[in-house]
Structure 1
């Protein structure tokens, strides 16, 4: 492990019971719709309500003018007084380096009650505001807003920078699960607006990013991770989390997890995963989850209870655990089924150029244990679940290559399988 990784791991290993931070971090999972009142209004309310001054940074955006304009419009429709701070390397016709150190712009940020980071590429945020890991005067002004009790919000790339260590450029979940892990490539120092012991990720369920979060947390020494789904947000105040928006977030707890060092590939057993839905609250310090009020008025699903009556009788097997929302679907089916476990694979049937170990796959085993419990409600118009403390094991497996061959007509002999390489 190199010095940079040791420094990152030390930062991540800071204890959870640090003094509560003064400000509020709103971690938005990306793809936020303009009509999502729950998320946009919450940003404005946390910044002080009507008239709240919010500084908007489109630093990460490919088209900064367009991204900033949409964000400002969405915030101002909810009563804010939002203004663009033109510090974006990909914005045309501006001297962003001069703006980065402009005393007038820095003063505008310092006088704000909120800061909002757009989506895009998170490396632009850290390379611009924190080059070489050192904070600029502009970043110090943003921290002043946060430390003064203000709000720092970010969507997609703007959410990625919220923890002390972040994914820098790591789009291939399966490659990371197989061991691709390079400093200043897959990971980097973030800006650290959430508590030190919490690792965050975004676009989480849609893009199957459990595949990259688990190995990242193990490598960096994190025990708590929070993956936010698209069009949803986690409002983080110190060690307290509230989920708002369209869907929810996955909470990963590795405090009791273990790995077998004798196995050369990534493996894990005894992880705890919980799905926190909109309206749910969770205390990261005590580990207590409080489901949304409408859930408490509806159906509780407790496998240890005498009146537990699961609705599902089959035992599903999921062929792609990293597919869109598959992990949470597996968790809800486990909760509402008689079977003590469900399983599924993470594997690329058609390897890409440069794939590590094309024959390597991973079996995910989700199973019930002490504390596994959940709630179901359709009060908000959908099938909404909260699922707590499902156990998760990840086992590396060697897959057949090819995984399948066409079935020949009955009067033809089956084609011989190709010889293995080497």
Structure 2
């Protein structure tokens, strides 16, 4: 119950400001040569000469991180400047800077704000201690309220939703129920749609394993996991995917769980992989593939092709591996097989693992509205998958899984 007042405050702040501006949520590992994302930030801030305030608050080395971001933005025509608000800045009085009228005015006069990667708890602890917004956070919100842009990469992406991962121990332990206030989760800064939960480094690190239980535990129906070197551009309820790859949209509005099972379980979740150029409207639930995809025939096979029948149904032994969940989704539509399965299991459980023999089987299959498109128009085999179905089933795995013959 003690989250109620801050959450209501966050929702009010979102309603008053986020619809006016643009939030650019970057999945981390943003390359310096990713013009699609860097230039979009500058353009949304007003183009050439746009003033952008850079917060390396989350960074382990704030000076270096801020200098790199400022340089990348200025190469695209911005007038970016680092704002010295970071716990790890040596010789800087953080509390004094949070109240400094000169710094506050610089932020208020900016048309954009950029949050670096690092540790997201540094951002919320600095700008929103104990859930209470500082004057500096209010200055940042004013940029968004006037139609400006707030962008963030990695940790700077995590803080975009009204709740966030703070410092979770890993996918498997979150799946097994390690989920504590102030440790695994915390309040975010609520720069985007209030009913969408954000995660980052998503496909590279297999974070579908932690997003699903997070949505259930925190009462969210939808989550967006953004891949590295890619971004989701939010304008109110509308989102567009840009950059190198894409984002995974998780929809639990029709999903069910078996309350008689103590372990996490799920049936009928909907997964959509939105690739670069794809769009989604959270107000209507409609996803629109890019123009390049729509020029290709829709893949909606309901019967396995001959090659798939010959090879048999694959089993992804590490469904939380790098890109594995999207590869499995694509395989489901490319082959026409009735289902694809995979296992989430930690071969070497961490110390303190509450259930070392507990694993989770992921079952992917098609349902009403399921569709996919494949395209090589942008170089490479790009895919969009809409409304694949997912069941997550707790299973017991032998200990040890492997033994000498």
| TM-score bracket for this pair, using the shorter chain length | over 0.9
CA apart distance, 1:157: 0.2
Q: Is the 8 A contact 1:119 1:158 kept in 2?
A: yes
How does the TM-score come out when normalised to structure 2?
A: 0.95
Q: 1:400 to 1:310 in 2, by over 3 A?
A: same
How does the TM-score come out when normalised to structure 1?
A: 0.92
Q: 1:298 aligns with which of 285, 293, 296?
A: 296
Q: Deviations over 1:263-294 (max 9, x none)?
A: 01000001000000000011111111111111
The CA distance in 2 between the partners of 1:12 and 1:397, in whole Å, is 38
Q: 1:10 to 1:84 in 2, by over 3 A?
A: closer
Return the index of the structure with the highest Cα Rg. 1
Matched, 1:61 2:59: yes
Q: Which consecutive unaligned segments of at least 5 residues does structure 1 have? A: 408-422
Q: 1:171 to 1:82 in 2, by over 3 A?
A: farther
Q: Deviations over 1:174-217 (max 9, x none)?
A: 10000001000000000000011110110000001111110010
The CA distance in 1 between the partners of 2:289 and 2:300, in whole Å, is 14
Q: Which consecutive unaligned segments of at least 5 residues does structure 2 have? A: none
Q: Deviations over 1:46-84 (max 9, x none)?
A: 000110000000000000000000000100000100000
Instruction: Indicate the larger mover: 64-73 or 282-291.
Output: 282-291
The CA distance in 1 between the partners of 2:327 and 2:6, in whole Å, is 33
Q: 2:395 aligns with which of 394, 397, 416?
A: 397
Q: 2:255 aligns with which of 254, 257, 263?
A: 257
The CA distance in 2 between the partners of 1:19 and 1:302, in whole Å, is 40
Aligned residue for 1:79?
77
CA apart distance, 1:4: 3.6
Q: 1:322 to 1:296 in 2, by over 3 A?
A: same
Residues 184-263 of structure 1 correspond to what in structure 2 (within 5 A)?
A: 184-263=182-261
Q: 1:315 to 1:220 in 2, by over 3 A?
A: same
Aligned residue for 1:105?
103
The CA distance in 2 between the partners of 1:404 and 1:275, in whole Å, is 34
The CA distance in 2 between the partners of 1:147 and 1:5, in whole Å, is 24
Aligned residue for 2:278?
280
Matched, 1:384 2:372: no
Aligned residue for 1:358?
356
The CA distance in 1 between the partners of 2:343 and 2:74, in whole Å, is 45
Matched, 1:334 2:336: no
When the two chains are superposed, the root-mean-square deviation of aligned CA atoms in Å is: 2.1
SS state of the match for residue 335, structure 2?
Answer: coil
Q: 1:268 to 1:295 in 2, by over 3 A?
A: same
SS state of the match for residue 54, structure 1?
Answer: strand
Aligned residue for 1:343?
341
The CA distance in 2 between the partners of 1:194 and 1:310, in whole Å, is 45
Q: Deviations over 1:237-266 (max 9, x none)?
A: 111010000000000000000100000100
